[in-house]
Amino acid sequence: MSSLSLANKTVLITGAAHRVGAHMARTLHEQGATIVLHYRNSKTAAEQLQAELNSQRGQSVFLAQGDLLDHSQMENIVSQAAEHTGQLDVLINNASSFYPTEVGKVSNQQWEDLVGTNMKAPFFLAQAASPHLAKQQGCIINIVDIHADRPLKGYPVYSMAKAGLVMMTRALACELGPYIRVNAIAPGAIMWPENDMDEATKEKIISRTFLKRKGDPGDIAKTALFLISDATYMSGQVLTVDGGRSLNS
């Protein structure tokens, strides 16, 4: 694949300052894309990543700040992304809230946060971005979760929100074709949660994969690159990247 295979393409990645979002930014930037890094509060991390990538190719990475829980900001985030190059080719809905919620004690704030970041914001960002994407015959990639199909114990609201995002992927593929492709990536054990997880739990998760190892953020980034560059006849699909874990009941 050419090192400039994504040249002249502008990619907006939400929640791009850290973790998998930052890895996708580096991978797609390496392939020639102009990257718009969305962040909410992680200004310092976003600016550091911007400086790192701009040192490799000047004026190739821009920032878009916004709160995904604020509906009024969706249009502005997309506008910030499109104005830098006058176009938008790819939207990657990566930003996500993830934490447990106990049935019987779920608060409205927790519901609004988990459903808002994992389902509502991706929809309204896609709606705002679709006129720009259609002009470029671009694509949307949603980062879902293997637990959209099999709920994660203790995380009912998160699991439901990701299940909604899977259906949104299929529904938007139907609604936005033929000019926009919409697909999703469902990661398994790629990066451990930022909250504490004991070693026994980690070992149990790894033992349930067919490959007997944890994945790498690069696996998700390369899958995103495939969906953008090569999957020109794919839409409405979910690519599972989990070492076989979701098949091992």
Residues assigned a catalytic role: 158
Contacts of 9 (CB under 8 A, 6+ apart): 32, 33, 34, 89, 90, 136, 138, 228
Contacts of 114 (CB under 8 A, 6+ apart): 97, 99, 101, 157, 158, 161
Q: Which H or E run contains 182?
A: strand 181-187
Q: Could you give the 3-state DSSP secondary structure of residue 34?
A: strand
Alpha carbons within 13 A on the beta-carbon side of 54 = 14
